[in-house]
Amino acid sequence: MSYTVLARRYRSQEFDQVIGQEAIARTLQNAINTNRVAHAYLFCGTRGVGKTTMARLFAKALNGGSAEVDKAIMAGQDTDVIEIDAASNTGVDNAREMIANSMYRPLRGKYKVYIIDEVHMLSNAAFNALLKTMEEPPEHVKFILCTTDPHKVLPTIQSRCQRFDFRNIPVAQIAGHLADVIKQEKYNAEPELIHQVAVLGNGSMRDALTVLERLTATGEKKLTLKLLEELMGLPDRAVMSSLIDSLADGDPGKALGYASDLLAKGTSIDQVIEAMLLRLRDLMILAACGPTTRLVELSDDARKDEVTRAQRFDAAGLVHMIALCENVQKAAKNSSVPRALYDALVVRLAMTEKLADVTALIAGKGGTGGASSSGAASVAARAESAAKKR
């Protein structure tokens, strides 16, 4: 028996199994139950959020019945449910062939359903040919157009479709599904590993399952965060945490050491800065909105750690640090000495509060409020400690 990838093996087979697009599933079910099915639909959304799966489920609800037909539809192999990849069939001749075939009645189902993936890739001539059929389609024909770029679909096409926008799937829902898959596949996984894989999915269930598949391909039965970092070339989260703590301490020496450790593990400068940006962003949101904010998606244990870490920073100071990271990330890509820019960034970040204090003193504010007051307190404490050591 041939191996089936996880994304296909765990594809939803019923409307009530759909994850993250429940409202769309209910609406389509109601359309069938009330006999108010339109002749054309437009499914919009990023890759891996369930557009093709929903199209097949809808086609199965329209045409299905026997187990054999249902299986063929969900596998994309049914004679009455025709799937077309517009990315490789862009020409007007392809559209004309489809239109000519649509005139023939379905062989065994009630409808002939055309699922056109990446429909925005059709040429203008093909769009115009399709439009003519969509204006007055045969009673036995239904169109389901799928696209990741709805802005490129002609307004005249969109006006003849019922449009559904598929949202990115929340991290918590992806993580929940991943946990179920891992259990069924008889693997053990760290909770933080599951969460990080869900984050890497970036709203796409398919992408998250693809990452999980790469992990299972290693042959390890215990899936760990360390394994993920090694496999994907991601910065070590623990070392990144230590780096950020050293920034909060205002200790550029320690910060440079941790920054060097991250690169020594084979991670690129761009990846390290990107990971730093994401961590600083979470801290900024926690500092500005509080520990229970839903704008930061973290596992329970990671949230506790980050809430404590966020208390060491000021939201305004974090905004400045994020801006510095972004500027250096852009500059490093075009620099002949990116390491120098990277090290300078780390030192600058570690000295952010000291520089803010100097600016405040020059302005005659004496370090009042915000990052300056917290920075002044930390500077004073370190100065007092140094004096005692002398």
24-50 per-position pLDDT tens digit: 999 999 999 999 999 999 999 999 999
CATH of 171-232, one of 1.20.1600.10, 1.10.8.60, 1.10.10.10, 1.25.40.10: 1.10.8.60
Q: Give the C-alpha distances (Å, rounded to integers) separating 303 from 62, 224, 228, 235, 279.
A: 45, 19, 20, 19, 11
Residue 90 and residue 121 in contact, taking contact as beta carbons nearer than 8 Å: yes
pLDDT at site 98 = 78
Residue 60 and residue 28 in contact, taking contact as beta carbons nearer than 8 Å: no
Could you tell me the pTM of the whole model? 0.80
Task: Quickly state the pLDDT bin for 124 (edges 50, 70, 90).
Answer: confident
pLDDT at site 363 = 61
pLDDT tens track for 350-371 = 998 666 555 555 666 544 444 4
Average pLDDT of the segment spanning 279-292: 95
Q: SS3 for the chain, per residue?
A: CCCCCHHHHCCCCCHHHCCCCHHHHHHHHHHHHCCCCCCEEEEECCCCCCHHHHHHHHHHHHHCCCHHHHHHHHCCCCCCEEEEECCCCCCHHHHHHHHHHHCCCCCCCCCEEEEEECHHHCCHHHHHHHHHHHHCCCCCEEEEEEECCHHHCCHHHHCCCEEEECCCCCHHHHHHHHHHHHHHCCCEECHHHHHHHHHHCCCCHHHHHHHHHHHHCCCCCEECHHHHHHHHCCCCHHHHHHHHHHHHHCCHHHHHHHHHHHHHCCCCHHHHHHHHHHHHHHHHHHHHHCCCCCCCCCCHHHHHHHHHHHCCCCHHHHHHHHHHHHHHHHHHHCCCCHHHHHHHHHHHHHCHHHHHHHHHHHCCCCCCCHHHHHHHHHHHHHHHHHHHHC
Place of tokens 């269930």: 205
Place of tokens 């157009």: 145
Residue 216 and residue 182 in contact, taking contact as beta carbons nearer than 8 Å: no
Output the average pLDDT for the chain.
87
**In which residue ranges of the chain is CATH 3.40.50.300 found?**
6-165
Query: Tokens in use for 385?
Result: 């400690």
**In which residue ranges of the chain is CATH 1.20.272.10 found?**
237-350
Q: Does the pLDDT at position 374 exceed 80?
A: no
Q: How many angstroms separate the CA atoms of 286 and 60, rounded?
A: 45
pLDDT at site 376 = 42
pLDDT at site 386 = 43
Q: Does the pLDDT at position 208 exceed 90?
A: yes
Residue 209 and residue 10 in contact, taking contact as beta carbons nearer than 8 Å: yes
Q: What are phi and psi of 187, to 5 degrees?
A: -110, 160
**In which residue ranges of the chain is CATH 1.10.8.60 found?**
171-232
Query: Tokens in use for 89?
Result: 């069939």
Secondary-structure class of domain 6-165 per CATH: alpha beta
CATH of 237-350, one of 1.10.260.40, 1.20.272.10, 1.10.10.10, 3.40.50.300: 1.20.272.10
Q: Does the pLDDT at position 373 exceed 90?
A: no
